[in-house]
Amino acid sequence: MCAFLLAGRETGASGDDPRGEWTVERLVTLLKDQREPSLSFEEATYSSLLTEPLMTRGVLRFSPPATMEKEVMEPYRERYVIDGDQVFFESARKGIKKTLSLEDYPALRSFVEAFRASFTGDATQLKTVYETTIEGDSRKWTLLLRPQEEAGRSVIDYILFSGAEGRVDTIAIRAPDGDRSVMTLRRGTSR
């Protein structure tokens, strides 16, 4: 389960503190205020098990405060829906429909909570789950997240968001074994 994330609209809001300080708190407030309900994505997954990157395309959706969906449309059909504590997975090509609880998967839970915190403006929760490093300013920024807990570190080395203003342009996720994915978000073309 890779990235569930929605970027913000371009509205011209700078998000800069009057003192010139660019912080995680300012960023997540912008992400919350400017998020879009759905976006198209293209994701490249790199793995030691693959001879070339796996490219997928689809749509991400977020309904605050706790419902996220990732629908892969190409080159195959898969759907992931997280609603509260429940995760629903459906794959037409594998003939699978499955539901599980985040309570049973602490690493996945911390991953999901980080995304929810980012897009509901909860910097305190985000910093509880991840070590955060922000660079740049509102015009161009990166936010690096590293899991605080061992359960999270067992599946995620880091998550790197990059963007401008209150929108995320790319999400890179790296696993401890070196496998990674890079998701590019597109505005105005969601289905």
Give the C-alpha distances (Å, rounded to integers) separating 106 from 5, 72, 89, 155, 186.
19, 24, 17, 10, 30
Those residues of the chain that have pLDDT short of 70 are: 1-20, 188-191
Structure confidence at residue 29 (pLDDT): 93
Q: Which CATH number fits domain 24-55+106-186: 2.60.40.420, 2.50.20.10, 3.30.70.20, 1.10.1240.10?
A: 2.50.20.10
* Angle at 96 (CA atoms; ends 78, 59), nearest 5 degrees: 15
Alpha-carbon distance of 48 to 11, in angstroms, equals 40
pLDDT for 116: 86
Q: CA 7 to CA 30: how far, in whole Å? A: 10
Give the start-to-end residue ranges of the domains of the chain. Answer: 24-55+106-186
The owner of tokens 């960023």 is: 27
pLDDT at 191: 46
Q: Enter the tokens of residue 175.
A: 């696993």
Give the pLDDT of residue 7.
Answer: 40
Q: Report pLDDT for 11.
A: 33
| Predicted local confidence at residue 188, as pLDDT | 61
Per residue in 3-55, pLDDT tens? 444 343 333 334 444 446 899 999 999 999 888 889 999 999 999 999 999 99
pLDDT value at residue 4:
41
For the chain, how many residues are written?
Answer: 191
- What's residue 127's pLDDT? 94
For the whole model, what pTM was predicted? 0.84
